[in-house]
């Protein structure tokens, strides 16, 4: 899921006529001061990071005047919350909270539903998981009929929301659903939806994630990498996404697992097929090896796509080996993989003397693929071992081979195993 | 016998003139499947591997008579239109070997398919194969490969991994058994046929004596399988493997479409729920075939 920051989500809500607090997003304490002056009231300064529990981690500060605002902002910028550096903050008017509600839209994939579910609760402000069931009202949306205003009103009525705020809360629920649908969200949440002492309904915080496969429909969101990840994309992730973005033939998924490879034992990992690729990782871990990246090229990608993926994986600095983990008897013609990998190996291995590779490739056109791999790497000086479908479930054996080759590679470099 | 694909099932290929469409139409036909027509707008009147091409599904049905199933080889952003077109032409089983489909499009297809009383396999399903009977999608790949890997026998196979839907039947064959029907449910966040839909079909198929499932973390599907057993909608021997126990929270593994959210859908919760229902859960994928063999002998 391509996640949005709170400030981005709030702009989308504003477009759907959901009231949001007065405020702006900034990157320096001086700017925080300026916005606090402009607001002219006590402010909240909220770090913009992809982490839950921001408040508890000290990522939200309050200030009564511009001086204080600048002061607390100095502590906020550069701070780390769950390993994410604070680089942006949203400065907003502090609200006089009377009551907090929760509104969310999720997709339920279970067979009885297979539809969006709109959830509403009178117990906002906390994790919806910890709210008792009787305090949650929900409705499965029939997407052909749509979500109607009276559906939203009924959610409020079910939980006995007072009549005077009921229409504005229902409007906020509608606004969230329209945002969810209009921007093709995977999930969208307003938590808390705040009722102020003045009787206004305002979105206090929001979380949204856009469906990866719909990102192309929303260039206005400026999302670099349409991939689900717990952290913002690294340069490596951006390169990996570039391989996939413009080419719908087959899938290429590469994710960096260890941005700072400290110590030994990292393998450039090139899996084929999600399910099987995961098995190989398990086995490598048992041999004391770690994967620098996770990858999956499947769905019959072209040789060009496989080549780009392999090249990105092998050219990572500080890795000690490359494993092509084709732990599947694939239906796709594997010669595309063989050609792509050979081209990448021929370009990259001469730069890395002694760097070992274990290649497992099984399935359709296996015999031809083996020949391509063997002939294509025959004159390379690096240790390269090539295996086929008799080893498809021999994850332990292959991980041990990788380990043994890496140990030899260390010896050659004078590193103690 | 098998499920969903029978000897006389007639099949249409949407997007038949494309890279995958033409290659897999040739495979399906070469494997003995009754591929009666193909559709690519603007290419009506042509032929692909001897299969007539029409401009629309409606035209194909008018010329060839009612068609049972469609396989859609169209890019993700165009899938919704292709599926609605097939549903409107009265097709009741649609196999969608297509990834990167916008989620809201999927939801609309699911809702419309339900209204029409159709079964949608996928999106992101590499297909379905009943050895010696028929194949739809690219499961099997080429006739020679399909014949080598998928042999007839008593085991039904359902997989969440495309690659493993070839590997598990291969391992079953190595163990001296064979399969009735193999299906890949698909990789997208919402799919039309999951374990809870398919297990009752295997229950009703007299040739299927047991089922093997290659499961994964994320989503509600393994829990659905446990439910089917608990509520006696499936009573035959069932072996399940759940991949991805090591995955960190919040990480999606591409084809695994596996998001662990809020503790639900974790390997731990899936395994616990399956074991509670009395399902045989194995720790390693290479134990699937020997375990189902042992259970069928008992």
Contact: A274, B256; criterion CB under 8 Å:
yes
Give the contacts of B147 (CB within 8 A, at least 6 positions apart).
none
CA dist A320 and A354 (Å) reads 9
The reported pLDDT for the residue numbered B252 is 44
Give the contacts of A242 (CB within 8 A, at least 6 positions apart).
none
- Say whether residue A224 is in contact with chain B using an 8 A CB cutoff: no
| Min Cα separation A109/chain B (Å) | 5
The reported pLDDT for the residue numbered B15 is 98
**Domains recognised in chain A with CATH numbers:** 22-93 (3.30.1490.20), 97-220 (3.30.470.20), 234-412 (3.40.50.261)
The reported pLDDT for the residue numbered A137 is 95
User: Is the pLDDT reported for residue B253 higher than 50?
Assistant: no
- Say whether residue A217 is in contact with chain B using an 8 A CB cutoff: yes
Average pLDDT, chain B: 91
CB pairs under 8 A between A and B: 189
Q: How confident is the model at residue B76 (pLDDT cuts 50, 70, 90)?
A: very high
CATH 3.40.50.261 intervals, chain B: 151-297
Indicate if B184 belongs to the active site.
no
Q: How confident is the model at residue A228 (pLDDT cuts 50, 70, 90)?
A: low
- Say whether residue B252 is in contact with chain A using an 8 A CB cutoff: yes
Active-site residue (options: B24, B80, B209, B255): B255
B283 sits in the region (left: phi over 0; alpha: psi -120 to 50; else beta) called alpha
Chain B residues closer than 8 Å to A1 by CB: 252, 259
Q: How confident is the model at residue B216 (pLDDT cuts 50, 70, 90)?
A: confident
- Token reading at B141: 């790949």
Helix, strand, coil shares of chain B, percent, nearest 5, are 35, 20, 40
HSE-up (13 A, CA, CB side) for residue B116: 22
Identify which of A111, A329, A333 has the shortest CB distance to residue B197.
A111
Q: Cβ–Cβ contacts within 10 Å for residue A146, how many? A: 10
Identify which of B159, B216, B220 has the shortest CB distance to residue A110.
B220
CATH 3.40.50.720 intervals, chain B: 10-121
For A345-387, write each residue's pLDDT tens digit. Answer: 999 999 999 999 999 999 999 999 999 999 999 999 999 999 9
Q: Are A102 and A124 in contact (CB under 8 A)?
A: yes
User: Is the pLDDT reported for residue B248 higher than 60?
Assistant: no
3-state DSSP assignment of residue A288: coil
Give the contacts of B96 (CB within 8 A, at least 6 positions apart).
B71, B72, B79, B83, B120, B121, B122, B123, B124, B125, B186, B192
Report ipTM for this prediction: 0.88
Chain B residues closer than 8 Å to A118 by CB: none
Identify which of B100, B163, B258 has the shortest CB distance to residue A213.
B100
User: Is the pLDDT reported for residue B261 higher than 60?
Assistant: no
Q: What is the mean pLDDT of residues A106-125?
A: 92
Share of chain A above pLDDT 90, in %: 68
- Say whether residue A140 is in contact with chain B using an 8 A CB cutoff: no
Chain A residue nearest residue B21, CA to CA: A249
Query: Which CATH number applies to B10-121?
Result: 3.40.50.720
Q: What is the mean pLDDT of residues B50-66?
A: 97
The reported pLDDT for the residue numbered A161 is 97
A395 — phi, psi (to 5°)? -60, -40
* Dihedral over Cα of A125, A128, A132, A136: its sign: positive
Q: How confident is the model at residue B258 (pLDDT cuts 50, 70, 90)?
A: very low
Contact: A331, B140; criterion CB under 8 Å:
yes
- Say whether residue B145 is in contact with chain A using an 8 A CB cutoff: yes
CA dist A311 and B66 (Å) reads 49
For B130-179, write each residue's pLDDT tens digit. Answer: 999 999 999 999 999 999 999 999 999 999 988 889 999 999 999 999 99
Residues 385-404 of chain A whose Cβ lies under 8 A from any Cβ of chain B: 389, 392-393
**Cis peptide before A129, with omega less than 30 degrees from 0?**
no
Q: Are A212 and B99 in contact (CB under 8 A)?
A: no
Q: Are B198 and B3 in contact (CB under 8 A)?
A: yes
Q: Are B220 and B262 in contact (CB under 8 A)?
A: no
CA neighbor of A300 nearest in space, from A345, A326, A339, A331: A331
Contact: B163, A255; criterion CB under 8 Å:
no
Q: Topology of domain B151-297, per CATH?
A: Rossmann fold (3.40.50)
């Amino acid at each position: 899921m391509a996640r949005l920051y709170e400030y981005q989500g709030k702009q989308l809500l504003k477009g759907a006529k959901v009231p949001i607090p007065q405020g702006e997003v900034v990157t320096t304490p001086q700017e925080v001061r300026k916005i606090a002056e402009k607001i002219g009231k006590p402010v909240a300064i909220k770090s913009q990071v992809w982490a839950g529990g921001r408040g508890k981690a000290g990522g939200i500060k309050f200030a009564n005047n511009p001086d204080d605002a600048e002061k607390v902002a100095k502590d906020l910028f550069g701070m780390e919350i769950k390993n994410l550096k604070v680089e942006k903050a949203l400065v907003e008017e502090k609200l006089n909270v009377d009551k907090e509600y929760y509104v969310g839209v999720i997709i339920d994939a279970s067979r009885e539903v297979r539809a969006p579910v709109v959830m509403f609760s009178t117990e906002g402000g906390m994790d919806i998981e910890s709210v008792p069931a009787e305090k949650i009202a929900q409705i499965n949306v029939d997407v052909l009929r749509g979500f109607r205003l009276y559906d939203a009103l009924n959610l409020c009525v079910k939980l006995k929301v007072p009549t005077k705020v009921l229409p504005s809360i229902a409007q906020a629920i509608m606004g969230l659903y329209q945002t969810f649908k209009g921007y093709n969200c995977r999930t969208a949440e307003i938590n808390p939806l705040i009722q102020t002492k003045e009787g206004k309904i305002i979105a206090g915080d929001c979380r949204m994630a856009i469906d990866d496969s719909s990102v192309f429909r929303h260039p206005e969101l400026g999302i670099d990498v349409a991939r689900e990840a717990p952290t913002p994309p690294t340069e490596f992730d951006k390169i990996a996404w570039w391989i996939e973005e413009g080419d719908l033939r087959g899938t290429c998924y590469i994710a960096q697992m260890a941005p700072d490879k400290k110590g030994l034992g990292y393998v450039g990992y090139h899996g084929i097929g999600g399910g099987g690729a995961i098995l190989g990782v398990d086995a490598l871990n048992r041999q004391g090896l770690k994967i620098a990246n996770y990858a999956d090229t499947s769905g019959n990608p072209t040789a060009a796509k496989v080549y780009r993926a392999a090249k990105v994986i092998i050219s990572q600095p500080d890795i000690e080996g490359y494993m092509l983990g084709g732990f599947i008897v694939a239906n796709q013609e594997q010669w595309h993989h063989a050609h792509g990998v050979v081209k990448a190996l021929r370009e990259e291995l001469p730069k890395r003397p002694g760097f070992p590779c274990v290649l497992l490739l099984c399935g359709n056109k296996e015999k031809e693929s083996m020949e391509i791999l063997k002939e294509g790497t025959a004159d390379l000086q690096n240790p390269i071992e090539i295996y086929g479908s008799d080893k498809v479930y021999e994850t332990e054996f292959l991980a041990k081979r990788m380990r043994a080759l890496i140990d030899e590679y260390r010896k050659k470099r004078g590193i103690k195993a | 016998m098998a499920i969903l694909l029978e000897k006389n099932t007639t099949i249409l290929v949407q997007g038949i003139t494309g890279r995958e469409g033409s290659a897999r139409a040739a495979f399906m036909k070469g494997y003995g499947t009754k591929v009666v027509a193909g559709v690519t707008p603007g290419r009506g009147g042509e032929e692909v591997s001897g299969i007539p091409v029409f401009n629309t599904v409606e035209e194909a049905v008018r010329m060839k008579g009612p068609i049972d199933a469609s396989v859609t080889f169209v890019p993700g952003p165009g899938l919704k239109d292709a599926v609605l077109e097939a549903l409107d032409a009265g097709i009741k089983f649609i196999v969608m070997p297509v990834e990167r489909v916008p989620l809201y499009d999927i939801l609309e297809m699911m809702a419309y398919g339900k209204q029409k009383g159709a079964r949608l396999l996928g999106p992101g399903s590499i297909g379905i194969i009943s050895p010696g009977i028929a194949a739809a999608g690219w499961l099997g790949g080429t006739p020679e490969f399909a014949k080598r890997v998928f042999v007839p026998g008593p085991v039904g196979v359902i997989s969440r991994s495309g690659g493993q839907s070839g590997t598990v039947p291969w391992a079953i064959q190595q163990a001296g058994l064979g399969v009735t029907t193999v299906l890949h449910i698909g990789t997208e966040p919402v799919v039309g046929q999951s374990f809870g839909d398919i297990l009752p079909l295997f229950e009703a198929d007299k040739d299927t004596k047991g089922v093997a499932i290659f499961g994964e973390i994320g989503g509600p599907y393994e829990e659905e399988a446990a439910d089917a057993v608990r509520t006696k909608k499936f009573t035959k021997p069932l072996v399940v493997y759940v991949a991805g126990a090591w995955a960190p929270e919040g990480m999606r593994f591409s084809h695994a479409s596996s998001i662990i959210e809020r503790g639900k859908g974790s390997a731990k919760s899936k395994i616990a729920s399956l074991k509670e229902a009395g399902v045989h859960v194995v720790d390693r994928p290479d134990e699937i075939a020997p375990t189902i063999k042992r259970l069928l002998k008992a």
